[in-house]
Amino acid sequence: MPIRIQNDLPVKAILENENIFVMDENRAQSQDIRPLKICILNLMPLKEDTELQLLRCLSNTPLQVDVEFIIPGSHISQNTSVNHLNRFYSTFSEVQNNTYDGLIITGAPVELMEFEEVDYWDEMTRIMEWSKENVTSTYHICWGAQAGLYYHFGLPKVRLGHKLSGIYKHRVMNRRTPLVRGFDDFFYAPHSRYTDVPASEIHKNSDLLVLAESDEAGVLLCMTPDGKQIFVTGHLEYDRMTLKNEYERDMKKGIEPSLPEHYFLNDDASQKPALQWRAHSNILYSNWLNYYVYQNTPYDLGQIGHHN
């Protein structure tokens, strides 16, 4: 089934060229069904890249999904045109009276800062608090996951000795949990970050259930038992070339990054990286939408706060 986006969103043509079922606003208005309303808080600097990645992930489901993008009103984006933001994004203050079936909070390139030093941290805390009563299930990614674990559970992040970047092997735990239904015993996922929430801190928190972990990269996937808060420390939404692009960007900046691990064939950066995580990414997003959004959300969105 389709994802519904604005008629003139630039990535629409790319999605259609990939044979992804995209429904524009005109056609969606004729559908006599109640689609899922998913809000995406996009904190990444290259917003169109993230839009494309997440819309691909949300498209592999039999459910119709209406997507709305938001940004913090307390932050000025430097890497996306004002015209694009004005046409396709709302600020949190403009949607705070709405309710949503699902919310995705993306990563952000601010992980080396303390949470309270981020210029939109106060607004982030309001969004995360608002999500408790206005969203059926919230899906946190990378820095968004660290922010959520810190805000909701007081778990601190720690700075790593070097950037964790690459494709890492994970084992599935608690596999009876619907979020990992259909997963193999082991699977691969991208990580790209300078900080981490220690696995020991997550494991000893009785309010969190760990679902996937790596010997090299730590906890990838954990959640509250009711599925209202889901935390993904990696980037299963990444495209084949995203880590390569990040590596080349850092090289141009003179950062001298390490080569992403387990990514390039024979560790040769001139080789095309193998895509090793797309199938499990599709399963994860499909399971989230089905078991923790669609199956739990009330038909009347206005009842979300009461329903939970």
Residue type at position 108? A
- Quote helix, strand, coil % in the chain, to nearest 5: 35, 25, 40
Place of tokens 């986006």: 5
Q: Which residues are catalytic?
A: 142, 235, 237
Place of tokens 């959520």: 148
Longest dimension (CA), the chain: 54
Radius of gyration of the chain (CA): 19
Contacts of 150 (CB under 8 A, 6+ apart): 115, 156, 157, 197
Cα 13 from chain centroid (whole Å): 22
3-state SS of 221-287 is EEECCCCCEEEECCCCCCCCCHHHHHHHHHHHCCCCCCCCECCCHHHCCCCCCCCCCHHHHHHHHHH
